[in-house]
Amino acid sequence: MSTENKRIREEKRTKAQQIIRRIGLWCFAFLLFWVISYGANNRLEVSEYTYETNQLAYSFDGFRIVHLSDLHNKIFARNNGVLLEQVKALRPDIIVLTGDFIDASNHTDIDAALLFMQQIPKIAPTYYVTGNHEYMIDRNKLEDFLKKTESAGVHVMKNESVQISSKTGQTFTLIGMDDNSLQANLLGTLAEESEDDFQVLLAHEPQYLSDCYAPSGVDLVFSGHAHGGQFRIPFTHQGLYAPDQGVLPKLTEGIAREQDTTMYISRGLGNSGFPLRLFNHPEIVCVTLKTVTGS
Ligand SMILES: [Fe+2]
């Protein structure tokens, strides 16, 4: 074989090796992305908080509120068995659900949402307000779902308040706002009518904290809707986008405070039309009330 032929063959071999290496790198990158995104979308994270107050009777000391939001018809293995087990392990006194348990985009499954609603009140008394997605499905189907959810033992709260009792009979007020009514002036009226000093609000959308929730004087708010900003910048708590807040949204997770109101925002559990969250695990929130003596 001539030297020229040898050189050509060598060049071809080098090129083939480069192509194989590039394909290998792409496959590795894809696999890594898949592993990270699978973890980000399926590994449940529990965020525990303690809320101190001198407004509650001592009998509420240690009272645990588990907060779930934005399931969007996601199923965490075996009919949500994994999710239900983790909620049960937190030993909640009550469970609050802040909307979007049905997804109205491309994976609507009302039966799956109903199955969840039939299981969750077996763990603890459960209180549920709708999100924007529930109102995007057919109105008759929604009414039927809400009726069956109530029959299963979940308190569906449509602009109403209930009193939550401790073991010794002291109470606080839980207000549940329908997603369609968040901006209406109903919250102020419900809060004013409350017989208790301490008031907790369930409201799907967090962006009304300054304009509606804090001015009404409620003490605590549980909210969701923002999905943690969907894609989060690694090692920060900054999400990239949230509905109704746009890019680099502020109210997507954790605690926000305004006047005397503290709001807990869940990053939610599932996804809507866009099927992926990144660096943003599905979240179960658990708030333990701690009573302190007033000054
Ligand atoms: Fe949502």
The three-point CA angle 66-233-264 to 5° equals: 25
Q: Residue 81's pLDDT band (boundaries 50, 70, 90)?
A: very high
86 burial (CB, 10 Å; 0-12 / 13-18 / 19+) is middle
Residues 53 and 127 in one domain: yes
Sign of torsion, CA 248 182 218 267? Answer: negative
Is residue 141 domain-shared with residue 16, that is, in the same domain?
no
Residue 9 CB coordination number (10 Å):
11
**What pLDDT shows up at residue 186?**
85
CATH number at residue 257: 3.60.21.10
Please give the pLDDT value at position 294: 58
**Beta carbons of 180 and 187 less than 8 angstroms apart:** no
Are 1 and 133 found together in one domain?
Answer: no
Within 8 A by CB and 6+ apart from 271, the residues are 41, 72, 74, 227, 230, 277
pLDDT of residue 273: 83
CA of 227 to the centre of ligand 1 (A): 6
Residue 283 and residue 139 share a domain: yes
Q: What's the pLDDT score for residue 259?
A: 96
| pLDDT the model gives residue 271 | 93
Cα of 62 vs centre of ligand 1, distance in Å, is 30
Query: What tokens were used for 283?
Result: 């979240």
**Which of 210, 191, 214, 291 lies closest to 260, judged by CA?**
214
**Cα 74 to ligand 1 centroid, rounded to whole Å:** 11
Chain position carrying tokens 């409350």:
194
Ligand 1 centre distance from Cα of residue 268 (Å): 7
* pLDDT of 77 above 90: no
175 and 266 share a domain? yes
Distance, CA 132 to ligand 1 centroid (Å)? 7
Confidence check: pLDDT of 182 > 60? yes
Lowest mean pLDDT among 60-69, 145-154, 184-193, 225-234: 184-193
Provide mean pLDDT across the span 29-36.
Answer: 82
Is the domain of 61 the same as that of 100? yes
Which residues constitute the domain of residue 268? 44-291
What local confidence, expressed as pLDDT, does residue 58 receive? 94
The pLDDT tens digits for 199-248 are 999 999 999 999 999 999 999 999 999 999 999 998 888 999 999 999 99
The reply to whether 243 and 160 lie within a common domain is yes
Q: What is the pLDDT of residue 276?
A: 87
Q: Is 207 in the same domain as 65?
A: yes
Residues 112 and 33 in one domain: no
d(CA 216, ligand 1 centre) in Å: 24
Segment 89-105 mean pLDDT: 97
Residues lining ligand 1 (ion), CB within 5 A?
70, 100
Structural domains in the chain (count): 2
Q: What is the dihedral of CA 85, 98, 126, 181, to 10 degrees?
A: -170
State the distance from the centre of ligand 1 to the C-alpha of 243, rounded, in angstroms: 9
What pLDDT does 1 receive?
66
pLDDT tens track for 36-68: 778 778 999 999 999 999 999 999 999 999 999
Please check whether residues 36 and 167 belong to one and the same domain.
no
Query: For residue 257, what pLDDT is reported?
Result: 97
Share of the chain above pLDDT 70, in %: 99
pLDDT digits (tens, 9 = 90+) for 243-270: 999 999 999 999 999 999 999 999 999 9
Distance from the CA of 180 to the center of ligand 1, in angstroms?
Answer: 14
92's CB contacts (< 8 A; 6+ apart) are 64, 65, 66, 123, 124, 286
Q: What percent of the chain has pLDDT over 90?
A: 74
- The span from the CA of 186 to the CA of 267, in Å, is 26
Radius of gyration for the chain, computed over Cα atoms and rounded to the nearest angstrom: 24
Distance 113 CA to ligand 1 centre (A): 14
| Mean confidence (pLDDT) of the chain | 93
Same domain, 88 and 221: yes
Write down the pLDDT at residue 204: 98
Q: Residue 185 pLDDT > 80, yes or no?
A: no
The rounded Å distance from CA 8 to ligand 1 centre is: 59
Centroid of ligand 1 to alpha carbon of 106 (angstroms): 13
Over range 269-292, report the average pLDDT.
Answer: 93
Whether residue 93 sits in one domain with residue 4 = no
